[in-house]
Each structure stands twice: as C-alpha cells, then as structure tokens.
Chains A and B, each alone.
Chain A
Amino acid sequence: MSQSPAFVLNVLETPEDPEGQEPSPYDESEVHDSFHQLIQEQSRWVAEEGLELQQRQPETGALGASGSDHETMLGPEGAPVYSMATLRILASMPSRTIGRSRGAIISQYYSRTVKLRRRAGRPQLRDMGRSARPSLRLYDLELDSAVLEEEEKRGLLVKELQGLTAAQRDHMLRGMPLSLAEKRGLREESRPPRGKHRAQWHRGLLSCCDQLRDSCVLASHNLGLALLSGLQALMPWHYALKRIGGRFGSSVLSYFLFLKTLLAFNTLLLPPLLAFIVGVQAAFPPAPTGPVPAFTGLELLTGGGYFTHSVMYYGYYSNATLNQPCASPLDGSQCTPEAGSLPYSMPLAYLFTLGAAFFITCITLVYSMSRSFGESYRVGSTSGVHAITVFCSWDYKVTQRWATRLQHDNIRTQLKELLAEWQSRQHRRSACGQLRRVAVLGLVWLLCLGTTLGCTLAVYTFSELMIKSPVSAEREAVLLLLPLVVCLLNLGGPYLFRILAALERHDSPVLEVYVAICRNLILKMVTLGILCYHWLGRRVGTLKDQCWENFVGQELYRLMVMDFIFTLLDTLLGELVWRLFSEKQLKRKGKPEFDIAGNVLELIYGQTLTWLGVLFSPLLPAMQIIKLLLLFYIKKASLMANCQAPRRPWKASHMSTVFISLLCFPSFLGAAVFLCYAVWQVKPSSTCGPFRTLDTMYEAGKVWVRRLEKAGPRVSWLPWIHRYLVEDTFPIYLVSALLLAVIYLNIQVVKGQRKVICLLKEQISNEGEDKIFLINKLQRVYERKERSRAGRTEEAVTPPALLTDGWDAQ
C-alpha cells in the first residue's frame, strides 16, 4: 500500500482488533491526554538523543520535499499515511475520544452542571485565549496545571450534583450519554447524606421539607408516567398510527397527525357553543312560528326542510332574555323574582361565546404554529443537504421488510437526485436555456391562473343564475347544484394542474410540491372568496324579508356534505379503482401513491368551511367532528389496501409546519375576516335570530356596555376599556408598531447569528490547519527517532551532514 516502506508502516486493515497495538478510544479506561504534554515528552526525547546531523536520504516521489511544513505525506488514495506512534497519538486526541471516554463525558457534564448552578450563560469570549478551540473550552481543560484524573473529575461532578435539587439532578442525569449503571452510581453518590443535620433542628426541618418535597415530586412523576401510559393505551388510534408509520413512514403519518390536530381544534371549539348557546336554547324552546315540515331524507343533504327550525341554525335563537323572572307588569305591581332563576340574555351569549371561542382557537393556532416553526427551522439549515440526507434520512420507525426495501429505493433515488442537482448547478446553463426555462415557467403559471379565473367565473355565473331563478320549497334538491359545481371544480382543478406541471421541469422535487400546493390553495381560496361575496353581498339583498342567515348556514352545510361525498368518491376512484385498473389493464405492479398534499388541502378546506359557518350554524363543529372521525377510518382502510408511500423526499417536520401555517393564514384568517365583516357591517335580518331588532350584530354588545355605564360606578372599568381600547384605533396602531419592532429585532438577531457562525467556522478551520501542522511535526520527530535508532543498530559510520531543512530554525 505504501510506496516508501522504509519509513511508514502499513495502516491495519482490520481496526477491530482489541489485541492490536493501536488503542481504540473505545478503551474507556484511557483518559484523554493533553496534546501539550505529549509534545513536551517528544521534544525531551529529541533533546536527549542530541541533534543528529544525518545525510538526507534520497527522496522518493511520494514523500516530497520535507522543507515545507504544511505538506502531508499522501498515500495512494490521497489519505495521509502516518506511522504507528503518530496513529496512537491521533487515537487519543480529545476530538476523537470525547465520544467514547467516560472521563471526557464526565468532565463535560461537570462543567455544564457548574454553569447550571451559577446560572452563567455563554462564557465571556474575552476571558478565553484566542487560540483555544471552542470544543476544548467546554471541557474545561487546564493545559498548564496537572490534568485531573478521572476519579477526581467524577468526585467533582458528584459534588456539583449534590448542590442541585432532585428534579434538576434527574434532568441532568437524563441528558448524559452514560450507561444506566453509571447513572445509577452517580445518583447514589450524589444523594444528600441523611442524618447529617440531625444535630441542628432548624436545618433538620428544612431537610425534612426538602425530602418531603422530593418524595412528592417523585411520587407525582411516577403517577404521571403511569397515567400517561394508561392514557396512551386507551387512545384508540395510538396503535393504528404506529402501524401506519411502520408501513408507510413519517410523511404519510404526518397527514393522519394533522387530522388528529384538526379534531382537537374542533373539540376545543364545540363545548362552549354547546353549553352556552345550543343547550340553553334547547332548554327554552321558542314558540313555533309556523307548521313544521315533515322529515324527508333530503334534509340530510340539503340541510333545509325539517332542520330549518331547529337548534341547528341561527334563526331558531331568540332575541330576548331567557328565564326572565317576570314579564312586564301590566298593573304596576311589583315583580317577585323566583328563587334560583338567572336571566340569560341570548344575543349577548351568542355574540360573546362565539367571540371567545374564536379567540381561544386563534391563540391555540398561533401557539402551535410558532412551536412547530421553532422545532423545524434552524439557522443555516438550507446548506449541507448531502450530509443531512445521509445522516438523518433513515426512518427508524419503519419495521417491515418490504417497507425497508422501499426506503432503500427512496434514499438511493434521493441521493442520485441530489448529486444530479449538484452537478447541474456546477455547470451553469446557457443563457438560452435559462430564458427557455423562464418562459415555460411563466406560461404554465399563466395557464394555471387562467384556469383558476375560469373556475371563479363559472362559480360566479352559476350563483347569479341561482339568484335569478328562485327555488320553491318543493324543489329543494336544486339547491344542491351550486355545491356540486364547486366541488367538481375543486376536484378537477388539481388534476389539471398536475398535467400542466408535467410541462415544466424543476430542479428540485421539493419545489414542485410547494408549487402544486400553492396553486391548489389559490384555486380553493378564490372559489370560497367568490362564494362569500355571493352570500354577504348578494343574498342579503335578495332575501330581504326572509332569514338570510339561515340560508347561508344551509349553504355551508350543503357544501360540507358535498365535500365529504366528493372526498369519498375521490378516494374510491383515485385509489381503489386506479389500483385495480393499473393491475388488471396496464399490468403494472406499482400501486398509486398516497397524495399527501392534496389530502391535506382537502382537510384545510373542510375546516375553513366549518369556521365560516359557525356563526350561522352553531352545530357545524359537531358535524365536522363526525366527518373527521369517518374520514380517518376510510382513509386508513384505503391507504392500507390500495396505496404505497410517496417516492418524493418529504421532510415531515417541514411539511407539518407548512400545513399548520396554511391552516392559520389563509384559512383561519379568512374565516375571521368574513366573520368580522358579518358581525360589524351587515344588517341582520329582521324576522329571525337573536339580533333581529338591531342594526348590526355588534350592537348587542354596545347596547350592553351602555347599560353597564348607566348601572353605576362599580363596573365602570368595563365601559372604559370598551371605549378606549376597543373602539379607539390608537391602541391597535401601538400594538402593531410593537409587533413590527419585535419582528425586526428577531431578524437582526438571526443575521448576527449567521455572521458569528461564519467567523467560528473560519476559526475552526484555522485550528484544523494548526492540528495538521503539529501532526506532521510529530511525524517527523518520530521519523528521526526511527532513523537514528536504525542508524545506530547498523553501526554505520555516517559523516554528520548539515541539516538542510529548517528544523533548527523552528
């Protein structure tokens, strides 16, 4: 292997040799030494042997001139070739032993514990020597004084652990990469000794309290663990999700987890509505206004008919105060309030419950979005794709053999695509090619936006048509046509986009996915926008004497039902039929891929409909919950039977963040804007609902605040808040300005962090060059030792020649 056998020994081919001379850092009894000490030793040996002036041997090609200190000796593959002694030193270098040597780990965690106790943040850069490597600083090595033995370090660590509370100690121990026996030993040693303070009663009491608190914490921790494991065993979907993850990987799992999240949001939304609006009104039903139509099966689809005059819709709710102790007295006599009755103002309850429910949903959404973003975004995370793919892309959750084979294929494809992308970036495309690519991209986008516009116009004309031809009560099925058209367009649009996207060729597959999501989202949101205009802008006008809120509520109900039916159809046709077709007719073995992006957008669309309709139909979240439950089981069954995991590389955590951001921004924000407009600007209908006598729905709140003002000085803070914080616009400007300032500061912090990372990288690479320089020097020292020993054993009389290289000059 080596070309100059006189100087260099071969590197062992099988390093897994415990009896071999090369000590592996796996030998944990070896404490890592300081480089400094070794160099001193070697220099001492050289000084002892005297400066031997030898004739320089004729150089062979591989060695090169030894005058330059920066040159390394290169073996045939370009890797440096070192002697046995140098390799031994390399093996005990701190950077190589930190992963294995117990002493190094203990030392590292000792310094971390010290920091925890002193509550010091990052060490001041001023205090460190400029040349100290960041990694070495953490290990608290003292290069000048004697190196601590492992036992001493362990003792120090134990002492530090004793100074922490039990919870902090357990937390520290949990984070240490030591074996269980070690951790147990450390914990035993660091337990505060009992009976020490028995002499002093006061301190005995304190330690008693400490022990009580510790044992309480431990007991509650154990109880918590037991409850958690019991809860997880009870949750019906825990094993189902595990099976899905095992067969299809984390990316498909992210769809089902998103479904679970939506279920949680709806479950959060429903109880206040049930308790304060639906339940109360159901307990005090209003007098029926007319004959109730009989129940036919069509109501389940159209939401009208029998359901019109039920708690389902806005029109059923009364505008008076329920449970009023007495009606207005006719003869001036006093009202005697009944014991235990509480007047309940329905309009106020309606407005405030909805407002509170939306506010809680908003806070929860923003919190989960920011947490998801924090978990998935890192400064500088876009670089280093090759390393990240190789180190992080294997999904350990996958347990089945055929799924593992699929993962192998996926990773191989991904690596080849990355390499191809890298290659193409190395060779810049010609200007002509660039222009052509931009032209094709522009054309496809134009076509997609044109399709969206076409769909929008279709929905608009159809809705105008529906207005012009009013529907009588007998032909309610005609009302289903508009939702049908909308759902057909929503179904066909994405397929058309997929066909158009085949024309353009993106460099990165991830970008394709994002672009597809973007286009689908634009289509869905624009369609919903046109429908909102149709309802609030046109229907309010045309249904002047009737209950337009009921109508809007029913429209949304119909849209939800149609959406569900079409999702079922899509699952059936897109997955089951396609699989049968491709197996029987096309004789292909591949099953259809599970389209994660499309399915997630469907979920977001359904949730948007729920949020849009909650004002007009308070029971819509209950419907959405039922729909999501059914969807879970249907999608799971179809997935297991018909689909395979997607071939595209999916960064599951990035996509979860994208999904929840999409849920927050176009979806929830749009619904909130729609609701605000409906509450603030639109005149409620005068024949039905809790706000029938008012100009806007918001007036109910204003009226109540005015009444509070008149009621007396004790509750005057509430009207004050209302006048100066809600109705005045200045606080809003102030809050927006503060928010902008915070965002700007965060951006600057991130920029600063990037700069610091660059500087640190430069520093580390300089240190690396230092290290190679020192290793070469060591190598040369050993060489000379070998040469001198060889020279002496041969008893050759060689006239001392002048040293020609610059070793003396160093």
Chain B
Amino acid sequence: EGGMGTVKQSDDFTLTGSLPSARAHRRFCELLPQEHRSVEESLQARVSLEQILSLPELKANPFKERICKVFSTSPSRDSLSFEDFLDLLSVFSDTATPDIKSHYAFRIFDFDDDGTLNREDLSQLVNCLTGESEDTRLSASEMKQLIDNILEESDIDRDGTINLSEFQHVISRSPDFASFTV
C-alpha cells in the first residue's frame, strides 16, 4: 500500500472527524519546505516545534509547548512527524471519546512528567490559565487557597497529588470538557 493509502487507512481508527486525514496531510505539507512536499518524504519528515507552534489553532494557546511535547515521539521531543500530527488532531477533534481527551489532557497538564499533578504542576497550570504577566497572576495566598480547594475536591486518596484516575473522575463530572477541542 502506497503512501496515500496509509494516510487514508488512518481514517479508520483516528477520529479527525471533520478533518479527514487527506486534509490533515495537506496542512502538514504546508509546514514543510517546498522541496520536501512529496508524499513519501512527508510521511517520514519531521517538523520542528517552532513551525507547529505557528499553526493558527495553537498560536494563542497557553498550553502549546506542552501539547507539542506530549505528542512528539522523537527522543529529544522537539519535532513532530506526520503521525504525531494526526494523533494531535485526532485527540482534539469533536469525535474523540472523553476517555482519550482526559488521558491526554492529564499528560499535557503534568508539567514535570512524573505521572501525577502535584502542587507545582497545579500552580503552573493556574498561571497558564490566568496569563503569564505579573499583574495577571493570582496572589500567593489566593493560589495556595485555590490549590488547597482543588486537592480537597479531587484528591480522593489524600496523598497530596492528583493521579490519572482522580483526574478522570473530576473530568467525568463536568460535561463542559467538550471544550477540549479545536
């Protein structure tokens, strides 16, 4: 099966929904330099992080670096292949199951990659949400109170961190998690 056949096959078990793999492939090719845009090369090529971050959907997203790091499969985690790109679109599409979305959301929010969300992860998360500049952050006491409340509400086994199961339990109670789509 040729290159485009492989690309089309991915439609069966990725969930790009409104953006089938052929169109995703076209968008990926736009990020490559002109001479490498053939089908065979594009399936093997890798795109650097800066170029992915220039996509309009990701440009203004405060989690863009984390998103790229999570989906990158290269050893130094600084480039994305076409399959990584498809994975990214698949998780963020309308048709991805909440299970998959919450799984990847957990990985994106886990800033230190240790498998749980501890206090530092949560505080970095809140800072991403409120804006990076000094005057937009919450005060230290507010941050502490907020993180205490979050842990109180979601840390069921009282170990001071939120693991994947607890995270998924919190997410499952909120139907608004559908906003985790682009």
The chain A residues found within 8 Å of chain B, CB to CB, are 15-16, 24-26, 79-80, 91, 93, 95-100, 135, 170, 173-177, 179-181, 183-184, 187, 218, 221-222, 225-226, 228-229, 232, 250, 375-378, 380-381, 383-388, 390-401, 403-405, 408-409, 411-412, 415-416, 419, 422, 651-654, 761, 764-765, 767-769, 771-772
Query: Residue on A with the closest CB to B141?
Result: A419
A399 contacts B171, C-beta separation under 8 Å:
no
> B169-180 vs A: 1/0 string, CB under 8 Å?
011111111111
Query: Residue on A with the closest CB to B180?
Result: A396
Contact for A381 among B90, B130, B136, B173, CB less than 8 A: B173
A sample of 11 inter-chain contacts (CB < 8 A) reads A15-B113, A93-B115, A97-B115, A180-B90, A384-B173, A387-B153, A390-B122, A393-B176, A401-B60, A415-B146, A654-B176
Query: Residue on B with the closest CB to A174?
Result: B13
A177 contacts B165, C-beta separation under 8 Å:
no
Cα–Cα, bound, A211→B159 (Å): 51
A391 contacts B171, C-beta separation under 8 Å:
yes
List, in ascending order, chain B residues with CB within 8 A of A404's CB. 60-62
A378 contacts B175, C-beta separation under 8 Å:
yes
List, in ascending order, chain A residues with CB within 8 A of B42's CB. none
Question: 5 other contacts beyond A80-B160, A95-B163, A769-B158, with CB at 8 A cut-off?
Answer: A100-B107, A221-B12, A401-B60, A403-B60, A404-B62
B154 contacts A95, C-beta separation under 8 Å:
no
List, in ascending order, chain A residues with CB within 8 A of B107's CB. 99-100
A390 contacts B97, C-beta separation under 8 Å:
no
Q: Is B119 an interface residue (CB 8 A)?
A: yes
Q: Is B56 an interface residue (CB 8 A)?
A: yes
Query: Residue on B with the closest CB to A404?
Result: B60
B59 contacts A228, C-beta separation under 8 Å:
no
B165 contacts A392, C-beta separation under 8 Å:
no
List, in ascending order, chain A residues with CB within 8 A of B171's CB. 391-392
> B108-130 vs A: 1/0 string, CB under 8 Å?
01101111101100100110011
List, in ascending order, chain A residues with CB within 8 A of B114's CB. 15, 24-25, 91, 96
Cα–Cα, bound, A809→B17 (Å): 62
**Known interface pairs A91-B114, A95-B164, A97-B115; A174-B150 also in contact (CB < 8 Å):** no
Contact for B176 among A225, A415, A652, CB less than 8 A: A652
A390 contacts B150, C-beta separation under 8 Å:
yes
What's the nearest-Cβ distance from chain B to residue A637, in Å? Answer: 23
List, in ascending order, chain A residues with CB within 8 A of B115's CB. 24-25, 91, 93, 95-100
What's the nearest-Cβ distance from chain B to residue A46, in Å? Answer: 25
What's the nearest-Cβ distance from chain B to residue A42, in Å? Answer: 20
Query: Residue on B with the closest CB to A187?
Result: B13
List, in ascending order, chain B residues with CB within 8 A of A401's CB. 59-60
> B21-62 vs A: 1/0 string, CB under 8 Å?
001000000000000000000000000000000001101111
5 interchain residue pairs of minimum CB distance? A768-B157, A96-B115, A408-B131, A384-B153, A177-B103
A419 contacts B146, C-beta separation under 8 Å:
yes
B104 contacts A391, C-beta separation under 8 Å:
no
Query: Residue on A with the closest CB to B161?
Result: A96
List, in ascending order, chain A residues with CB within 8 A of B9's CB. 184
Query: Residue on A with the closest CB to B15?
Result: A174
Query: By CB atoms of chain A within 10 A, which of B99, B119, B173 has the most?
Result: B173
What's the nearest-Cβ distance from chain B to residue A423, in Å? Answer: 8
List, in ascending order, chain B residues with CB within 8 A of A398's CB. 60
B153 contacts A386, C-beta separation under 8 Å:
yes
Cα–Cα, bound, A225→B18 (Å): 8
Q: Is B65 an interface residue (CB 8 A)?
A: no
Cα–Cα, bound, A772→B170 (Å): 22
What's the nearest-Cβ distance from chain A to residue B109, in Å? Answer: 7
**Known interface pairs A250-B179, A384-B153, A653-B178; A405-B13 also in contact (CB < 8 Å):** no
B112 contacts A16, C-beta separation under 8 Å:
yes
Q: Is B78 an interface residue (CB 8 A)?
A: no
Query: By CB atoms of chain B within 10 A, which of A175, A218, A390 has the most?
Result: A390
Cα–Cα, bound, A767→B182 (Å): 38
List, in ascending order, chain B residues with CB within 8 A of A388's CB. 170, 173-174, 176
**Known interface pairs A174-B15, A415-B146; A180-B153 also in contact (CB < 8 Å):** no
**Known interface pairs A91-B115, A400-B60, A652-B176; A408-B129 also in contact (CB < 8 Å):** yes
Query: Residue on A with the closest CB to B23?
Result: A229
Contact for A96 among B57, B60, B116, B158, CB less than 8 A: B116
What's the nearest-Cβ distance from chain A to residue B14, in Å? Answer: 7
Q: Is B4 an interface residue (CB 8 A)?
A: no
Query: Residue on B with the closest CB to A133?
Result: B157
Cα–Cα, bound, A197→B55 (Å): 50
Cα–Cα, bound, A188→B120 (Å): 42
Contact for A232 among B18, B56, B167, CB less than 8 A: B18
What's the nearest-Cβ distance from chain A to residue B47, in Å? Answer: 15
A397 contacts B130, C-beta separation under 8 Å:
no
Query: Residue on A with the closest CB to B157?
Result: A768
Cα–Cα, bound, A390→B149 (Å): 11
What's the nearest-Cβ distance from chain A to residue B149, in Å? Answer: 4
Cα–Cα, bound, A765→B114 (Å): 22
A387 contacts B150, C-beta separation under 8 Å:
yes
B170 contacts A170, C-beta separation under 8 Å:
no
Cα–Cα, bound, A535→B104 (Å): 59
**Known interface pairs A228-B18, A768-B159; A386-B165 also in contact (CB < 8 Å):** no
List, in ascending order, chain B residues with CB within 8 A of A96's CB. 114-116, 163
List, in ascending order, chain A residues with CB within 8 A of B180's CB. 392, 396
**Known interface pairs A99-B164, A222-B11; A399-B56 also in contact (CB < 8 Å):** yes
